[in-house]
Amino acid sequence: MADSDRSRLSVALVDVADGRVAAFLALARDFEAMLVRKGYGTAEMIRDEAQPLRFYAVRHWTDAASAQACHADADVQALTARLFQIARVTQVVNGVGRQEPRRLLLDNQRSAVEADRRTGFDRRVKDVGRPAGNRRASKDRRLGPRRLRDRPGEVDLVGAARRARENADAAFSQFKVGAALEAADGTVFTGCNIENASYGLTICAERVAIYKALSEGHRVFTRVAIVADTASPTPPCGACRQVLWEFGGNLEIQLANLTEERGKHRLKDLFPHPFDARLL
Ligand code: THU
């Protein structure tokens, strides 16, 4: 497109399932035609000469607003949902105005997933707004997701996890945990552990955070902070590692206690041999 801003580019790595290349190419053509027809920009699919099942999906957006509109477009989402049924997509460059390089660390996303569980090529940039009601007087302590993309310098994930921890209901273990998960668009979702008299129904802070985010339509995540009141760091339990891996990929994990940060890890290092949809 002659008038498109060539610097506003998105690139995704697409690993197509064996035997699905023809279906994938047809889908890519439909996607490209739709982008042009709706004025969002242009798309091209480049095949990796060395790896026949690997493609590079390059999109040049007309402008930032077009990219946003494209992500929110139900027709585009329907095509994307079909794409996720036949390919693993890893975002390499996100041209929708991402400010910080860490937001591009979207490698190892959940590998093969059902269409209805992933609905965006670049995923939604969804403004979920403020929660209803006046839950807390202070802005910093308000509950619910917060959209921080426009204020990248202010993202204090550990602080958010510490505040979330205060809401933990750990009546049986007295072990309070807080988590804060950052979605790719900068929205932060917090969680705390909530215990149950049956014990087994207890849910950890990390899963509360990610389920909140998923239920709001977010599908790509960059970092999670986990806070407990312990000298040695509290890493996520096995169940949470599984869930974080499946939906968040190789997240950065920040561990902290109430006063200091106690290390950064990659989920892959904590969870080196994951079970996931590739094995199904
Ligand atoms: N817990 C979490 O919330 N996250 C973790 O990473 C470890 C454990 C909770 C579950 C339970 O309520 C309490 O901590 C003690 O295991």
- DSSP labels for 81-131? HHHHHHEEEEEEE-TTT---GGGG--TT---S--GGG---SS-------PP
Domain ranges, ordered by start, for the chain: 8-98, 155-279
State if residue 193 touches ligand 1 by the CB under 6 angstroms criterion.
yes
Q: Which CATH number fits domain 155-279: 3.40.50.1970, 3.40.140.10, 3.40.640.10, 2.50.20.10?
A: 3.40.140.10
Atom of ligand 1 nearest to the CA of 236: 6
pLDDT at 185: 85
- The CB of 204 under 6 Å from ligand 1? The reply is yes
Q: What integer pLDDT is reported at residue 85 of this predicted model?
A: 80
pTM for this prediction: 0.53
74-86 and 21-37 are packed helices; what angle lies between their axes, rounded to 10 degrees?
Answer: 160
What pLDDT, in 10s, does the model give residues 168-215? Answer: 999 999 999 999 999 988 899 999 999 999 999 999 999 999 999 999
More confident residue, 86 or 140: 86
Residue 128's pLDDT is 36
97-115 mean pLDDT: 35
Mean pLDDT for all residues in the chain: 79
Query: What is the architecture, at CATH level 2, of domain 8-98?
Result: 2-Layer Sandwich (3.30)
Question: Phi, psi at residue 37, to the nearest 5°?
Answer: -60, -40
Closest CA to 5 of 62, 43, 58, 54: 62
Does ligand 1 come within 6 angstroms of the Cβ of 205?
yes
* Dihedral sign of CA atoms 76, 77, 82, 85 in order: positive
Q: How confident is the model at residue 95, as a pLDDT?
A: 58
pLDDT for 11 equals 84
- Bridge partners of 16, per DSSP, are 87
Nearest CA to ligand 1 atom 1: 204
Q: How far apart are the CA of 204 and the centre of ligand 1, in A?
A: 5
Structure tokens at 225: 């902070």
Active site residue ranges: 206
List 264's β-bridge partners, or say none.
Answer: 254
Residue to mutate (ligand 1; options 196, 202, 242; most atoms within 8 A of CB): 202
Pair of tokens at residue 64:
């930032």
Going by CA atoms, what residue is nearest to atom 10 of ligand 1?
Answer: 204
pLDDT digit string, tens, across residues 239-276: 999 999 999 999 999 999 999 998 999 999 999 999 98
The whole-number average pLDDT for the span 2-23 is 77
